[in-house]
Amino acid sequence: MKDYEKMTVKELVDELTGLGVSFNKKSRKAELLELLLAETKGEGKESTQGEDTAKAEKKPAKKEAKSTELKKSTQKSEPTEDGPVYSGYAIIRTGGKQYQVSAGSLVRVEKISGNVGDTVELKDVLAVVDGDDAKIGQPTVEGAVVTATIVEQDKAKKVLVFKKKRRKGYRVKRGHRQMFTALKIADISV
Q: What is the pLDDT of residues 106-126, one digit of tens each?
A: 999 999 999 999 999 999 999
CB contact set of 82 (below 8 Å; sequence gap of 6+): none
130 DSSP β-pair partners: 133
pLDDT class of 80 with cuts at 50, 70, 90: very low
pLDDT at 108: 95
Per-residue pLDDT, 182? 96
Mean local confidence (pLDDT), 46-65: 44
Whole-number pLDDT of residue 85: 54
Sheet strands side by side (includes 106-110): 106-110, 179-189, 145-155, 119-122
Mean pLDDT across the stretch 88-106? 94
Supply the pLDDT for residue 68. Answer: 46
In sequence order, what are the residues at sequence separation of 6 or more whose Cβ sits closer than 8 angstroms to the Cβ of residue 25? Answer: 13
Please list, in sequence order, all residues whose beta carbon lies within 8 angstroms of the beta carbon of residue 151, skipping any fewer than 6 positions away. 106, 116, 182, 183, 184
Buried b / exposed e along 7-18 (16+ C-beta atoms within 10 A): beeeebbebbee
One-letter amino acid at 157 equals: K
Q: Residue 180 forms beta bridges with which residues? A: 110, 154
Mean pLDDT over 38-58 rounds to: 50
Between 72-86, 110-124, 157-171, the lowest mean confidence (pLDDT) is in 72-86
pLDDT band at 152 (very low <50, low <70, confident <90, very high): very high
Percent of the chain with pLDDT over 70: 72
